[in-house]
Amino acid sequence: MDTPKKEYTEKQQAFLDALMGEARGNIRKAMDIAGYSKGTKASEVTIPLKEEIIEQASMMLAMNAPKAAHGLLGVLDDPTALGARNAINAAREVLDRTGLVKKEKVEVTNNGGGMFILPPKADDVAQ
């Protein structure tokens, strides 16, 4: 079943377009571009659009994940390049936030010959 698409006012749509485009994330600048008055509080515009803003920011990160991956590979080719450390950190942050995180292993050792008692498994069915 499809959920109905949310309808936006002209100003709201202009704000969302400007926020991820020309305003480069600057809320006040996006409001100005969209035609909101100087007296309009940022919260009045952003609270009703919270989910859309988060969704667009998430999409922006996803769209830049390949660039981040290439940045990491570029450092492999030239690790002495100016700003290589910053490129690695920025790429890591983008990739982490898009779900491409490093996997951590947890190693459990038991040299004492004891046993582990685990809690019972929870049912997958929500109660």
122-126 long-range contacts (CB < 8 A, ≥24 apart) are: none
Per the structure block, which two tokens stand in for 18?
């400007």
Separation between Cα atoms, residue 29 and residue 45, nearest integer Å: 12
Residue 96, amino acid: D
Q: Is the pLDDT of residue 37 over 80?
A: yes
- Per the model's pLDDT, the better-predicted residue between 32 and 126 turns out to be 32
Average pLDDT, the chain: 84
The Cα-based distances of 75 to 7, 71, 81, 82, 85 in angstroms read: 44, 6, 7, 10, 8
**What's the whole-model pTM score?**
0.63
pLDDT band at 116 (very low <50, low <70, confident <90, very high): low
